[in-house]
Amino acid sequence: MAELTNISLSRGAPSLDIIAVDELAAAAQRALERDPGGMLAYGTSAGYPRLLEWLSNKHGVAPEQLLATNGSMQADAFLFQELVGPGDVVVVEAPTYDRTLLSLTKLGAEILAIPLEADGIDVGALEAALEEGARPKLAHIIPNFQNPAGCTLSLEKREKLLGLARAYGFTLFEDDPYVELRFEGQQHPRMLELDGDAGSVVYASSFSKTVAPGIRVGYLVGPTDLIASLRKRATETYISPNMVAQAIVAEFCDSGAVDRSVATVKEALRERRDATCGALDRHLPDARYVTPEGGYFLWVDLPEGTDVAALAAGAAERGVVFEKGTGFMIEGGESSLRLAYSAVPPDQIEEGVARIAEAYRELHAPARA
């Protein structure tokens, strides 16, 4: 039998063919020539000054409101360590990013999981929980092309969430690594922008999904006093983040290469999204999903009772991997899965989904005597 090509619909990372390798090499060369002293010194925990300046212009915030970190995962970790202690209630979307659940659980947080709808978190359910006495410290929200579900939070819900955060005194953590990757439809303002100077929002984003994950550059925007505490925490953790990586990203951004990179990634991902939806419709008509308007992921609900753990095993036998829904939820998700189309060319997506569908049919085939 011919060997099967392995197809991974598992990881939310871009494939190498859509990473701007040559432009990154050129940016690295220019960055080193321009500022060898700054780039190769420790620097400060705030981040590489030229990158902070670019971010400050992009978001219209003071440099003191910024912390550039080794990936936004590090930014999340600093923020959670600062704000969340054992027993603190933290609102998350259900489903949500698996690493967020892990970090919060490790800190002893009490997770208040609120269902996600096609237009973002169910704010009505959140409001009801608050009215019933829930007092969260923090709400973690992935507003655009959510990981894992691909959904986007509507403008109305953004405004409503801000109102709830102000009324009940919790911090809204807007975790937004996918925002630049919209294929179609209207971009909504960030909650950070809608919040003005009220200080209810801490915003995180990353260059992992638009430039390359291996560069490990992400950042936080927040109120100055909170950022000052986080900078102290960062100094105590690693003195300073990776200045070499941040200087390369700063040069990549300042030179405009980042815009070309975003355009390339977006175009490829739109094709991959279309291939995924088309293949699901053709091969797995039982699949229910919300078509993502951007980003890396699509969430599939299969009919209740479908054993997605068994489906994953059947798919793995056929050389295809994906993430089971249960990893993204405290409870439930047994008949759901996440497909990451970010790293796979369209023809392989078609083949991968066809193999998943074959495994699905096998699950439902009558047992042989």
Ligand X SMILES: Cc1ncc(COP(=O)(O)O)c(C=O)c1O
Contact residues: ligand X, CB under 6 A: 12, 71-73, 97, 142, 147, 175, 177, 206, 208, 213, 218
Contact indicator for 300, 311 with CB cutoff of 8 Å = no
Which residue number is nearest to ligand X in terms of Cβ? 71
78 or 360: CB nearest ligand X: 78
Q: What is the C-alpha to C-alpha distance for residues 211 and 19, in angstroms, rounded to an integer?
A: 6
**What is the nearest approach in angstroms of ligand X to the Cβ of residue 70?**
8
**What is the nearest approach in angstroms of ligand X to the Cβ of residue 183?**
17
207, 283, 324 from 299: Cα distances, Å: 23, 16, 10
208 or 326: CB nearest ligand X: 208
**What is the nearest approach in angstroms of ligand X to the Cβ of residue 231?**
18
249 or 357: CB nearest ligand X: 249
The amino acid that residue 24 corresponds to is: L
**What is the nearest approach in angstroms of ligand X to the Cβ of residue 174?**
10
**What is the nearest approach in angstroms of ligand X to the Cβ of residue 276?**
17
- What DSSP assignment string belongs to 114-161? EEEETTEE-HHHHHHHHHTT---SEEEE--SS-TTT-----HHHHHHH
**What is the nearest approach in angstroms of ligand X to the Cβ of residue 111?**
16
**What is the nearest approach in angstroms of ligand X to the Cβ of residue 356?**
22
Q: ω into residue 241 within 30 of 0, thus cis?
A: no
Q: What is the C-alpha to C-alpha distance for residues 292 and 270, in angstroms, rounded to an integer?
A: 9
95 or 213: CB nearest ligand X: 213
Beta-carbon count within 10 A of 176 CB: 21
142 or 357: CB nearest ligand X: 142
130 or 321: CB nearest ligand X: 321
- Residue 239 burial (C-beta neighbours within 10 Å; 0-12, 13-18, 19+): exposed
For 94, phi then psi, to 5°, come to -125, 105
49 or 95: CB nearest ligand X: 95
Q: Which helix (H) or strand (E) holds 218?
A: strand 218-221
Q: What is the C-alpha to C-alpha distance for residues 326 and 347, in angstroms, rounded to an integer?
A: 28
Distance, first Cα to last Cα, the chain: 26
For residue 204, give the 3-state DSSP assignment: strand
**What is the nearest approach in angstroms of ligand X to the Cβ of residue 37?**
27
141 or 279: CB nearest ligand X: 141
